[in-house]
């Protein structure tokens, strides 16, 4: 079956990718939705009764989850048309007094899981298929108080660009998706509720649905990187032109 694999599909941006893929890729008839919350994944699946949806409850920050996923791939031999590496989280805190497991957990999920899932899925990917790696505008300039998060996203953007080059001859395009702030569960998990950060409160929001639709379209066109909205495209340009030491005066959350 022609399949889309989406990690972090139980909420926010990941959930929006299901509708975007249905609209833009009618040939995709099966979805593999991966996240920890099985019940929530099942509710998401019920919204699409006409599609074959596998809800796969895995904690992708744990290495044994990759073995289980590999087993699923071998047993089912899917033809993967789209892989969306979306599962991720950030924690906003000063590093000195932070929780060690939460800091290293970001590296495990945002970097290691994304790398493992890409490597595992590649042998099942069709010619003319897509990998979308969800990075962030935080990958453009280091972000004090979200230092580990922004570093993990810099990894995602850099890895995506290099893999795009490597995988193009195989007919696989890799796109780094770099959204600005979206109103999802992300900010509760990050411990930045409304009113806690003047910077985050002031920054323009991007709509996760528009990010899913726009980034999938950009990936189909072979783009290396996608950022929604002129404001954040301009920020990306500034990050290329100005010293990061200067910009970091403004990025602290
Ligand atoms: N929201 C923003 O402002 C923003 C901006 C730029 C980039 N991003 C990136 O966008 C992506 C999606 O975030 P979102 O905004 O949609 O936040 P979200 O609503 O919190 O979604 C995060 C998703 O990741 C899954 N997840 C978390 N930990 C997991 C684990 N250990 N194993 C498997 N799945 C796990 C969650 O599902 P379960 O809880 O069910 O496991 C959920 O489906 C992330 O990579 C984030 O870094 C977000």
Measured at the CA of 200, the angle between CA 13 and CA 225, to 5 degrees, comes to: 45
Q: Which atom of ligand 1 is nearest to the CA of 188?
A: 20
The C-alpha atoms of residue 74 and residue 53 are separated, in whole angstroms, by: 18
The whole-number pLDDT of residue 195 equals 87
Written out in words, the top-level CATH class of the domain with range 2-251 is alpha beta
Bridge partners of 174, per DSSP, are 131
Q: Where are the alpha helices (DSSP H) in the chain?
A: 12-24, 38-46, 64-76, 100-106, 114-121, 147-167, 186-189, 198-202, 208-220, 230-241, 244-251
Ordered by start, the domain boundaries in the chain are 2-251
Instruction: Of 57, 141, 155, 145, give the one whose Cα is nearest residue 107.
Output: 155
Q: Max CA-CA distance within the chain? A: 52
* pLDDT above 90: residue 117: yes
Weakest mean pLDDT among 151-165, 186-200, 205-219: 186-200
The C-alpha atoms of residue 239 and residue 216 are separated, in whole angstroms, by: 24
38 CA to centre of ligand 1 in angstroms: 15
Catalytic (active site) residue 89: no
Task: Kindly report the average pLDDT of the chain as a whole number.
Answer: 97
Instruction: Of 63, 143, 55, 160, give the one whose Cα is nearest residue 105.
Output: 63
pTM to 2 decimal places: 0.98
The C-alpha atoms of residue 16 and residue 182 are separated, in whole angstroms, by: 12
12 CA to centre of ligand 1 in angstroms: 7
Instruction: Of 74, 83, 98, give the one whose Cα is nearest residue 21.
Output: 83
Measured at the CA of 76, the angle between CA 156 and CA 113, to 5 degrees, comes to: 20
The residue whose CB lies within 8 Å of the most ligand 1 atoms, and thus the one to mutate among 20, 66, 88, 179, is 88
Taking only the tens place, the pLDDT of each residue in 24-53 is 999 999 999 999 999 999 999 999 999 999
The C-alpha atoms of residue 206 and residue 139 are separated, in whole angstroms, by: 16
Q: What is the bridge-based pairing of β-strands 2-7 and 30-35?
A: parallel
Burial (Cβ within 10 Å: 0-12, 13-18, ≥19) of residue 98: middle
* pLDDT above 90: residue 194: no
Residues of the chain with pLDDT > 70: what percent? Answer: 100
* pLDDT above 90: residue 193: no
85 CA to centre of ligand 1 in angstroms: 10
The whole-number pLDDT of residue 126 equals 85
Q: Choosing from 149, 226, 232, 235, which is the catalytic residue?
A: 149
């Amino acid at each position: 079956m022609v399949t889309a694999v989406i990690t972090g599909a139980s909420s926010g941006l990941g959930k929006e990718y299901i509708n975007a893929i249905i609209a833009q890729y009618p040939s995709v008839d099966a979805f593999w939705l991966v996240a920890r919350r099985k019940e929530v994944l099942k509710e998401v699946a019920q919204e699409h009764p006409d599609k074959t949806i596998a809800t796969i409850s895995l904690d992708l920050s744990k290495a044994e989850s990759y073995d289980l996923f590999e087993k699923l791939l071998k047993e089912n031999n899917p033809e993967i048309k789209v892989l969306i590496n979306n599962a991720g989280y950030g924690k906003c805190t000063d590093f000195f007094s932070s929780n060690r497991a939460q800091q290293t957990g970001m590296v495990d999920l945002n970097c290691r899981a994304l790398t493992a899932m890409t490597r595992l899925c590649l042998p099942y990917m069709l010619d003319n298929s897509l990998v979308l790696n969800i990075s962030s505008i935080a990958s453009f300039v280091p972000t004090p108080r979200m230092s580990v998060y922004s570093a993990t996203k810099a990894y995602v953007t850099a890895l995506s660009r290099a893999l795009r080059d490597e995988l193009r001859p195989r007919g696989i395009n890799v796109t780094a998706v770099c959204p600005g702030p979206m109103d999802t569960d992300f900010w509760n998990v990050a411990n930045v509720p409304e009113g806690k950060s003047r910077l985050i409160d002031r920054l323009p929001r991007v709509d996760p649905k528009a990010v899913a639709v726009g980034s999938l379209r950009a990936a189909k066109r072979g783009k290396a990187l996608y950022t929604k909205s002129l404001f954040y495209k301009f920020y990306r340009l500034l990050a290329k032109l100005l010293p990061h030491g200067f910009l970091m005066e403004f990025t602290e959350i």
